[in-house]
Amino acid sequence: MTSKPPVCDYEGSDYRTRFWKGQGRDYEDQVERIALRRLMPPNGKTLIDIGAGFGRLADEYDGYDRIVLFDYSRSLLLEAREGLGADPRFLYVAGDWYHMPFVDGLFETMVQVRTIHHAADVPALFQQLARIAHPAGSYVLEFASKHHLKAIIRYWLKRQSWSPFLPEPVEFVALNFDFHPRWIGRQLEAVGFSPQRMLTVSHFRLPLLKRLIPTRILVALDRMAQLTGDLWQLTPSVFVGSGSPPTGKAAEDGRFFACPDCGTPLGDLEDSHLICSRASCGKRYSFSDGVYNFKEPV
């Protein structure tokens, strides 16, 4: 991997209306929420949603005191802020997940759903998440699995060149990756996370089934089938709940943001900017329209 992995940029995207709103994905939305509730601690002080986009899952975080919606797309975060209003618990932060703008040991709970498939360097991403994780925290990850039943059948029928059984990720289109569950588990463990439970999700993600069978029935069936996740993983979507690395230190009270370039903790806003105090750095990051922008210094 390169030292600066490419980042998938949804800036200016119509992702919410093109992919979710009125697009027949109520089944996927509901079963993902079920899995999230099963794995995520219901309350706590700090939570970050990594790749939060327009804030689809934000209403699941009511039990938390301070919630960061983090995404590379500033425009999607503005959509989230517009939808959620002036709730003071939410912070909207645009940045690169390979250079997280937070101090070490900050987040008790980290959630990442439907975004890691855009990660060209998963080990580098996991290193950053291990750094910002509270030592007694939790990380709930959803990933697109290459080891799902449809891929296995296609491979056996020679309609697909890549093997769903090999551990390496497969990039099926540019910056879109599927991962093997065992490979994901090994990468988590390599940086100190402890995978504890897997749930298989979206067992019935087939257009024909979704047309013929009421959503509530598919959701009820998926709710039960998710519990087989520790035994086998044959679905296109897999959730894994992990404990955070226990060796780090919790963030000091009053410390929150850090310079993504040099890691120096940042102070309060000065004229709508956060300014790095390290003499050799001094970078400035803007705050406008309710969004902290760490994508590029100003």
**Domains defined for the chain, CATH in brackets:** 15-256 (3.40.50.150)
Q: Residue 126: pLDDT above 50? A: yes
| 228/211 Cα distance (integer angstroms) | 25
Interval 110-121: pLDDT, tens: 999 999 999 999
Q: What is the mean pLDDT of residues 24-46?
A: 98
Q: What is the mean pLDDT of residues 76-91?
A: 95
| Dihedral sign (CA 182, 186, 189, 191) | negative
| 184/23 Cα distance (integer angstroms) | 30
Q: Residue 56: pLDDT above 90? A: yes
- Percent of the chain residues past pLDDT 70, beyond the cut: 99
**What are the phi and psi torsion angles at 261 (to 5°)?**
-90, -45
- 60: helix, coil or strand? helix
Q: What is the mean pLDDT of residues 15-43?
A: 96
The model's confidence at residue 122, banded by pLDDT at 50, 70 and 90, is very high
Say what the pLDDT of residue 3 is: 64
The model's confidence at residue 86, banded by pLDDT at 50, 70 and 90, is confident
| 95/68 Cα distance (integer angstroms) | 12
Angle, nearest 10°, between helix axes 26-39 and 215-225? 30
With b meaning 16 or more CB within 10 Å and e meaning fewer, what string describes 253-286? eeebbbbbbebbbbeeeeeebbbbeeeeeebebb
Interval 251-275: pLDDT, tens: 999 999 999 999 999 999 999 999 9
| CA 101 to chain CA centroid, nearest Å | 16
Q: What is the mean pLDDT of residues 151-173?
A: 97
Say what the pLDDT of residue 85 is: 87
Can you tell me which residue has the tokens 């992995």?
5
Q: Residue 188: pLDDT above 80? A: yes
Say what the pLDDT of residue 2 is: 43
Interval 199-209: pLDDT, tens: 999 999 999 99
Say what the pLDDT of residue 37 is: 98
- Percent of the chain residues past pLDDT 90, beyond the cut: 98
Rg over CA atoms, the chain? 19
Model's pTM, two decimal places? 0.96
Enumerate residues 6+ apart whose C-beta is below 8 A from 41. Answer: 63, 108, 109, 138
Q: What is the mean pLDDT of residues 58-66?
A: 98
The number of helices, as runs of H, and strands, as runs of E, in the chain is 8, 12
How many other C-beta atoms can be found within 10 angstroms of the C-beta atom of residue 194?
13
Q: Residue 1: pLDDT above 60? A: no
Q: Residue 190: pLDDT above 90? A: yes
Q: What is the mean pLDDT of residues 68-82?
A: 97
| CA 193 to chain CA centroid, nearest Å | 15
Q: For the purposes of burial, counting CB atoms within 10 Å of the CB of 115, is it exposed (0-12), middle (13-18) or buried (19 or more)?
A: buried
